[in-house]
Amino acid sequence: MNGGAAMNGGAATSSSAPLNSDQDYLIRQATQDDLEALVRYEIEIAVVSFADEAITDPALHRKRVAGALGKPGEITLVAAARQEPEVPLGWAWLSARTNSLTGDRYGNFRSLAVSDVADRSLIAELLMAAVLAAADENGMTQLTGKVHAGNLGMRSLYRKFGFTATHITMERKADS
């Protein structure tokens, strides 16, 4: 998978009713204890982004995510309800990069996914705001992210936070 973002479906769920307040949620660093939930999010992102061509091997995603957790230059955040801080309701991953021509630091959005819960949009916005704050703290001058053309929820979230479309990837499959 080349990175991406999803807001379709959910990888982890909470049985609680909607809390409807940003004070009801917390954003924290992702840890190894979150790994299995994060792997499920990554598989979901792959399916949303690549459909039948998605790579859904949990071992592959486990290795990728485990390698990023706690690594310098990787911003890996989890959203959770304050009453259940150990249960991830969403996750975001941004990798720091350096432009080889200008030397500017930028962030490459790898993942943003939220469980299919009542406060899904609020949680996504809290995660995005936290990622942007962390990127600013880390001196990133630009953020980039890919999103599947059909993922309207993530496209809307990107736009809400000031992202603009700058490149379009075109594909053509060879006839078999």
What pLDDT is recorded for position 154? 92
Segment 71-124, tens digit of pLDDT: 999 999 999 999 999 999 999 999 999 989 998 899 999 999 999 999 999 999
What pLDDT is recorded for position 176? 62
Please state the domain extents for the chain. Answer: 22-160
How far apart CA 58 and CA 137 sit, in angstroms, is 32
pTM: 0.83
What pLDDT is recorded for position 1? 29
What pLDDT is recorded for position 23? 87
How far apart CA 135 and CA 59 sit, in angstroms, is 29
- What single-letter amino acid sits at 124? A
CA distances from 172 to 3, 48, 83, 92, 175 (A): 20, 19, 48, 30, 9
Question: What is the fold, at CATH topology level, of the domain defined by 22-160?
Answer: Aminopeptidase (3.40.630)
Tell me the percentage of the chain whose pLDDT exceeds 90. Answer: 66
Beta bridge partners of 143: 107
